[in-house]
Structure 1
């Protein structure tokens, strides 16, 4: 099993290697009542990466370390500057499957090789408060780095690390830094020991990110948006595996954005090439969505039940809804992990890489982005307009419900097209994005009401068949009808506002 810990730390340049390096006196740091000497630890870490340093390029580190109180395998994932999530697995000869999966979206089928060996002598101090509680751990590391592949160099340096205690206040690190700066120390110029080792031990360091050139054509803008969605899928892969909140939804949205972009900008990118990839993105979105829509619906019905006065809840309604929900549950975490570990998913990621490396651009891709992108957005907007007008002309009922649902899907596509075009079209496109998001939310509320009523009808029939009262289901059904009617009444005003902003695009 692997454990995850949020690591918040800062690094500082130590004295040159070979000098009598010591930790500064930190007894005067505000809030510190004691500095406890925790002794010296000998650490021996081997860092692994692909030969072309894919993990380093994404600011990820994977190491096998002995020594200290957390020997084992460690994978560090960046969260923000100075903040990383460290996933720890027990010491073993082979990389545990739990960590192997977390780097798979970047490593793919490439081999992981020993890249650098770091041996550190770590002098450790604990900063504690008046109650003896740990505030931060400060260490002086004397480091020797040996390149194991891609070079043969060695390097030595000293550095000081200050790691905040679990659940500590990050502002405390500012107080420690103030003291260290007064002692003549400066923040490290390297984000990690590995980055410094790669820079100082020779050999190619392909971990540096090369900035993309500015977008000048329609194709540049579309490709940049597609690249952003590809990067989001890869970036969110480990978060989905770790069950980070909202990660499944965000990855699913990235697949939808990319599929939508292929459809909206078919004059820019050849759909003969992108359609097969879009089909695979639809498959992945479906796998990510297993149980999600049903869970959202269950939450809606449960919340509606919570709003009812107790006298209106007749019979085991909540239990009946939960039973319905469990019976509809078709997915599992194991199933999703199997999808992410499968060949089909890896083939999709490779296909996206190929698409971005060799984009299937059409003639319009080289043209003025403002004209080409605006025309595509306008085309999508006309489809939304036709569906909204159709819905408004229809009487309440199934046909209107269907038209509003289709309008919602087209509004979502128009929103994504406007997002892709916004860097070229500016504020008018940004305004349209907001308008489409608002329209999408309104129509989404209507669709949720439609699905809620369908479910209530189904559950009421099940309850009736067992002799239970269906009264409460009827009350909830009526409330859902009122919500749908409110949306339908609001739609003309909402659409009038959208049309006013759309005219500027």
Structure 2
């Protein structure tokens, strides 16, 4: 598959508009040549147009220089296009290649992809070059005819101009200047900036209004904290879907961002337990933990590679032979690529698709807990439930199929069920008074109180782990790794408190910004500490392997000592960072107490 960044400008023109002298565009030397291509593209989407509504297009195009299957994603600048050939594995006239479909799996979630429109285009393409003959841009004079296959769809015809920058022109600022200069020239000739973002959008036009819409998030009352709960869950579920194709394309920082969204969503589910609940709810939390673990391994490999690649370029690396540097960096790159491949395999697994579908179902039909259910669920803790059934490896949980051996009770056939005695019928006077013991509708739990209670528990756990970490840091009977692990646990607790603070802020009127910021600072301090330790331990592992092979281990020792020293310097900022968390939390305690008293008076 190929990937390409598409940056272009589109213009509406009449059939009689004359093309100006393109060689007069500032920055262009001449038109190298002009070709005519007959293009035909069929666009595919789900019945409820999930791709189109997300500004993503999937098409099969024949004719021209780039015949094949294409997916286009929106971006901050231009659109990112992923391409596969017409004869790629699994491709047919009506089915896209499996590898290409992976890029939209998070949105499609296994739903059928149907033709929604066809766009035929007689394209007159001119190649604009500079004085050195290098391609700067492609100018397209398009004569378009389309048909929408949606209910209410019609046939349309129009003419438009496009000017797309070449890859070389995108490498520096001259490309955007060329686009601006070309726009001025084309508009002076009678063109107008197109009001339509794409040919597909123009083809569908009003027929898009006749297509069914995807299930919508449940609408709760304004001011209901549970409404904020759903919004917070939806935000991170959306992030996971948005970063899915970026992770597959291995875009910079995409693994990290998808991992953050996954872990934050999992933490939110834990924080929201008691407002939402049920067996399926707990299962989602477990699946998120597995996904976060797989992403975490790739992220750790990525961090180590980045840290050591930067380190060997400093004066520390001067003491290391160039061949050793190269070998180390190549090994680290290969390690990350292996872990990234495992991530992609997990994202291609049906278990991941089921997770996304479960999240959508949760938002559409939220399992809100009532006061009666709350008491029954108090004894259920998420962590033990997830740990009991945790697979041997996180990857195996997603990539390997696991059989569900749980037995289910079936309702006996009608003829095997003993008939219940008929209820005794009594007559009541016509004007009898209404019954006083009518069943009342279960009341919803105090969502704000549930959230603040979770926040208090998260803080209490952080304080407990902090005391343990400080107490055992000077204990020489414990190994360095054991003492360092204590601070790693503090970091995880700080992250949980931060996520809980964010959840409370999104779902209630309680201001947790200071606590969130303080937790972020503490997490950053301990994150640097942990990254240095992870890097150090990887170097130690490699040094031992090199020693067994009777190879020189001097370079590993130099880098190991540097990372060890650096980890200790990071930890110096810990006491002050933790103090700020405590100060921020104290300001919230009064608010928590008020909420508890108010709830008790009800």
For Structure 1 versus Structure 2, the TM-score category normalised by the shorter chain is 0.7 to 0.9
Report the Cα offset of residue 275 of structure 1: 1.8
The answer for the alignment partner of 2:276 in structure 1 is: 269
The answer for the alignment partner of 1:239 in structure 2 is: 246
Q: Do structure 1's residue 163 and structure 2's residue 164 form an aligned pair?
A: yes
Task: Name the SS of the counterpart of 2:75 in structure 1.
Answer: strand
Report the Cα offset of residue 177 of structure 1: 1.9
The range that moved more, 473-482 or 187-196, is 473-482
Tell me, yes or no, if the aligned pair for 2:58 and 2:72 is still in contact at 8 Å. Answer: yes
Report the Cα offset of residue 145 of structure 1: 1.0
Q: CA-to-partner distance for each residue in 1:335-372, whole Å, 9 max, x for gaps?
A: 43332222211111111111111112235997888766
Aligned partner of 1:86 among 81, 87, 90: 81
Q: Distance in 2 between matches of 1:374 and 1:190?
A: 47
Cα distance 1:72–1:388, how it changes in 2: closer, same or farther (>3 A)? Answer: same
Q: CA-to-partner distance for each residue in 1:401-423, whole Å, 9 max, x for gaps?
A: 33311110011112223333445
Tell me, yes or no, if the aligned pair for 1:288 and 1:336 is still in contact at 8 Å. Answer: yes
Q: How does 1:341-352 map to 2 (within 5 A)?
A: 341-352=348-359
The answer for the alignment partner of 1:144 in structure 2 is: 145
Q: How does 1:223-262 map to 2 (within 5 A)?
A: 223-262=230-269
Aligned partner of 2:60 among 58, 64, 73: 64
Task: Name the SS of the counterpart of 1:130 in structure 2.
Answer: coil
Q: Distance in 1 between matches of 2:128 and 2:554?
A: 63
Q: Distance in 2 between matches of 1:68 and 1:262?
A: 50
The answer for the alignment partner of 1:122 in structure 2 is: 123
Cα distance 1:193–1:483, how it changes in 2: closer, same or farther (>3 A)? Answer: same
Gaps of 5+ in 1: none
The answer for the alignment partner of 2:5 in structure 1 is: 6
Q: How does 1:64-463 map to 2 (within 5 A)?
A: 64-80=60-76, 83-92=78-87, 93-94=92-93, 95-168=96-169, 169-199=175-205, 204-205=210-211, 216-270=223-277, 272-294=279-301, 296-297=303-304, 300=307, 331=338, 334-362=341-369, 373=451, 376-396=454-474, 397-398=478-479, 400-423=483-506, 428-452=511-535, 454-455=537-538
Q: Distance in 1 between matches of 2:333 and 2:21?
A: 60
Cα distance 1:276–1:61, how it changes in 2: closer, same or farther (>3 A)? Answer: same
Task: Name the SS of the counterpart of 2:52 in structure 1.
Answer: helix
Cα distance 1:146–1:6, how it changes in 2: closer, same or farther (>3 A)? Answer: same
The range that moved more, 117-126 or 413-422, is 413-422
Cα distance 1:216–1:425, how it changes in 2: closer, same or farther (>3 A)? Answer: closer
Tell me, yes or no, if the aligned pair for 2:18 and 2:189 is still in contact at 8 Å. Answer: no
Report the Cα offset of residue 130 of structure 1: 3.1
Tell me, yes or no, if the aligned pair for 2:271 and 2:451 is still in contact at 8 Å. Answer: no
The answer for the alignment partner of 1:22 in structure 2 is: 18
Tell me, yes or no, if the aligned pair for 1:57 and 1:207 is still in contact at 8 Å. Answer: no
Tell me, yes or no, if the aligned pair for 1:229 and 1:258 is still in contact at 8 Å. Answer: yes
Task: Name the SS of the counterpart of 2:7 in structure 1.
Answer: strand
Report the Cα offset of residue 467 of structure 1: 6.2
Report the Cα offset of residue 154 of structure 1: 1.0
Task: Name the SS of the counterpart of 1:269 in structure 2.
Answer: coil
Task: Name the SS of the counterpart of 2:192 in structure 1.
Answer: coil
Q: CA-to-partner distance for each residue in 1:199-231, whole Å, 9 max, x for gaps?
A: 156772457999998973322222112112111
Q: Distance in 1 between matches of 2:305 and 2:122?
A: 55
Q: Distance in 2 between matches of 1:105 and 1:311?
A: 46
Cα distance 1:127–1:362, how it changes in 2: closer, same or farther (>3 A)? Answer: same
> Which has the greater radius of gyration?
2
Task: Name the SS of the counterpart of 1:43 in structure 2.
Answer: strand
Q: CA-to-partner distance for each residue in 1:14-63, whole Å, 9 max, x for gaps?
A: 22xxx424334444432233245514322111111122212111111111
Q: Distance in 2 between matches of 1:116 and 1:311?
A: 60
Tell me, yes or no, if the aligned pair for 1:217 and 1:368 is still in contact at 8 Å. Answer: no
Q: Distance in 1 between matches of 2:446 and 2:141?
A: 56
Report the Cα offset of residue 116 of structure 1: 0.9
Tell me, yes or no, if the aligned pair for 1:154 and 1:201 is still in contact at 8 Å. Answer: no
The answer for the alignment partner of 1:51 in structure 2 is: 47
Equivalent pairs counted in the alignment come to: 500
Report the Cα offset of residue 133 of structure 1: 2.9
Q: How does 1:458-473 map to 2 (within 5 A)?
A: none
The answer for the alignment partner of 2:578 in structure 1 is: 495
Tell me, yes or no, if the aligned pair for 2:218 and 2:365 is still in contact at 8 Å. Answer: no
Cα distance 1:31–1:409, how it changes in 2: closer, same or farther (>3 A)? Answer: same
Tell me, yes or no, if the aligned pair for 2:148 and 2:154 is still in contact at 8 Å. Answer: yes
Gaps of 5+ in 2: 170-174, 372-442, 589-602
Q: Distance in 2 between matches of 1:217 and 1:278?
A: 23
Cα distance 1:216–1:39, how it changes in 2: closer, same or farther (>3 A)? Answer: same
The range that moved more, 107-116 or 403-412, is 107-116
Cα distance 1:46–1:407, how it changes in 2: closer, same or farther (>3 A)? Answer: same
Cα distance 1:128–1:295, how it changes in 2: closer, same or farther (>3 A)? Answer: closer
| TM-score, normalised with respect to structure 1 | 0.84
Cα distance 1:312–1:491, how it changes in 2: closer, same or farther (>3 A)? Answer: same
Cα distance 1:48–1:460, how it changes in 2: closer, same or farther (>3 A)? Answer: closer
How big is the alpha-carbon RMSD for the aligned residues of Structure 1 and Structure 2?
A: 3.8
